[in-house]
Amino acid sequence: MSPKTATARNPDKPRDTGEHEELISGSEAIAHACRLADVDVITAYPIRPYDTVMQYVAGMISNGDFDCEYIVAESEHSQFEIVKHASAVGARVFVGSSGVGWFYAFEALAVTAGLRLPMVAMVGNRALDDPGAFGVEHNDALAVRDLGWMLCWVETAQEALDTALIAYRVAEDTRVRLPCAISCDGAFLTHSQAIVKVPSQKMVDSFLPPYDRGDKQLHPDNPITIAPQANEDWLMEMRKQNDMAARRARGVIIEAYEDLNKKFGRGGEPFIERYMMEDAEIALVGMGTLAMPVKVAVRKMRAQGKKVGFVRVRWFRPFPTIELQDALKGVKAVGVIDRDYGFGSGFHSGVLANELRAALYPSKNRPKIASFIAGLGGREVTADNVVEITGLTRDAGNGKLDDQDTIWIGVRE
Cβ 135 to another protein shortest distance, Å: 6
Longest CA–CA span in the chain (Å) reads: 69
SS3 105: coil
Helix (H) or strand (E) holding 97: strand 93-97
Helix (H) or strand (E) holding 237: helix 232-264
Comparing CB distances to another protein, the nearer of 74 and 413 is: 413
Binding mask 35-54 for another protein (x = CB under 8 A): -------------xx-----
180-185 vs 272-275, strand pairing mode? unpaired
Is 295 near another protein (CB under 8 A)?
yes
Q: Which of 244, 296, 322, 358 binds another protein (CB under 8 A)?
A: 296
User: In one letter, which amino acid is 98?
Assistant: S
Cβ 139 to another protein shortest distance, Å: 17
Cβ 192 to another protein shortest distance, Å: 4
Cβ 284 to another protein shortest distance, Å: 14
308-313 vs 272-275, strand pairing mode? antiparallel
Is 299 near another protein (CB under 8 A)?
yes
Burial category of 332 from C-beta neighbours within 10 Å (exposed 0-12, middle 13-18, buried 19 and up): middle
- Displacement of CA 160 from its chain's centroid (Å): 9
Cβ 384 to another protein shortest distance, Å: 11
Q: Which of residues 129-148 bind another protein (CB under 8 A)?
A: 130-131, 134-135
Comparing CB distances to another protein, the nearer of 244 and 411 is: 411
Is 378 near another protein (CB under 8 A)?
yes
- Judge contact between 309 and 284, C-beta under 8 A: yes
CA distance 244 to 171: 14
Binding segment toward another protein, per CB under 8 A, in 107-115, 170-178, 184-192, 259-267: 184-192
Is 227 near another protein (CB under 8 A)?
no
- Displacement of CA 408 from its chain's centroid (Å): 24
Site residues (vs another protein, CB under 8 A): 21, 23, 25, 48-49, 130-131, 134-135, 186-188, 191-195, 289, 292-293, 295-296, 299, 378-383, 411-413
